[in-house]
Homo-oligomer: A and B are copies of this chain.
Amino acid sequence: MHADRRPRSVTRADVARYAGVSTAVVSYVLNDGPKAVAPLTRERVLDAVRVLGYRPNAAARALSMGSADMFGLLVHDNRSPFFAELCHALDQASADNGRSLLIVNSDREQVATSEQIRDLVSRQIGGLIIADVLTAREQSLVEALGIPAVVIGQFGETDGLHSVGVDFAVGARGATEHLISHGYRDIGFAGSAARYDERERGWRDALSAAGLPLGPLVHVPFTHQGGYDAAMQLMRAPRRPRAVLAASDQIAIGMLAAFGQHGLRVPDDIAIASFDGTVAAEFVWPRLTTAVQPLEQMAHATVRILLASGDDRRHHEFATELRVRESCGCTVA
């Protein structure tokens, strides 16, 4: 007799029977509404759920809901302060539009990013946000999957996909021009060699427009350690620059640490301007003068694009705003 019994999933009806209530009441308890349930009844239902090991069938629920009430966000590494703030802004913008946001890191060595994209899409997301640099193959996969998608924070237009970002060249040019306005003639740049960086171009353009020679150029990773190493290279150089533009706040903060450790005063011995406008840039001393990316606007634009899912794929560009503080040599109240 018993050998005949195959285990089957516990249903809402089982819970209702065990608790001595209707299935509707079980739903009210598990969904926290729409109707109120008396505390004692609520406890009885929760007990039944516990005892029977009831678990709402997720896939069935997703099927019945039709889903598409959430977005997926692929971020290379959630620890980078800029991307952490970007994730949070995207979460808030999604919430403002009644969507949940599932954040997934793509810097896993164990899994190909294409596998992660497929995995996210198979979870019934209504849109995919990509805060990473995709290979051509990954990008064609996203297109093939036919899901509304936006690439955010990249250096420019992404053929075939919507993209959202700032004008890196103009932002970097403005920050460099600000350093020039302080009278500095020898201005270096610390940025990434990972791919051609529009910020580097902005720095070059500002210097040549002012008739100044290119200062020293160092390529390092976009990390605190990268900034630290950049500063060490600049200090060891035959001619130390009077000022430097850092391609990110994180690089600038690593540089500040290295200069501090080696007794160099910022801005008196070497001035710094940077890029991003993260919160951390305000909580160092001297505080960083930085080209601020308008994260909230960028996040809301991203969500609007996903919801509209129009077919005119294009690059949506925002302007940075230079936030002047003390690291460049300014005096701020």
Residues of chain A having any CB pair with chain B under 8 Å: 30-32, 46, 49-50, 53-56, 58-63, 67, 70, 77-79, 81, 84-85, 87-88, 91-92, 95-96, 98, 100-105, 108-112, 114-116, 118-119, 121-125, 140-141, 143-147, 224-225, 227-228, 253-254, 256-257, 259-261, 279-280, 282-287
Contact = CB atoms under 8 A, between A and B. Distances in A.
A228 B49 contact: no
Contact of A58 (B77, B123, B144): B123
B228 A283 contact: yes
Contact of A282 (B61, B144, B147, B224): B224
A118 B28 CA distance: 13
Contact of A81 (B31, B81, B122, B285): B81
B108 A91 contact: yes
Contacts of A95: 108-111
Nearest to A255: B283
A123 B124 CA distance: 9
Given A49-B145, A96-B110, A224-B282, A56 B124 contact: no
A56 B101 contact: no
Q: Which of A30, A63, A103 has the most CB of B within 10 A?
A: A103
| Main DSSP-derived SS at the A contact region | helix
**This chain's copy number in the assembly:** 2
B63 A144 contact: no
A99 to B, nearest CB: 10
A36 B153 CA distance: 33
18 contacts: A49-B146, A50-B146, A55-B147, A56-B122, A58-B122, A77-B88, A79-B85, A79-B279, A81-B81, A87-B105, A91-B105, A91-B108, A95-B109, A227-B283, A253-B280, A253-B283, A257-B283, A284-B284
A232 to B, nearest CB: 13
The 4 closest A-B pairs by CB, nearest first: A260-B285, A224-B283, A58-B124, A103-B103
A37 to B, nearest CB: 13
Contact of A121 (B58, B109, B254): B58
Contacts of A141: 46
B121 A54 contact: no
A124 to B, nearest CB: 4
A56 B112 contact: no
Given A62-B122, A282-B224, A285-B257, A102 B105 contact: no
Nearest to A108: B95
Contacts of A122: 56, 58, 61-62
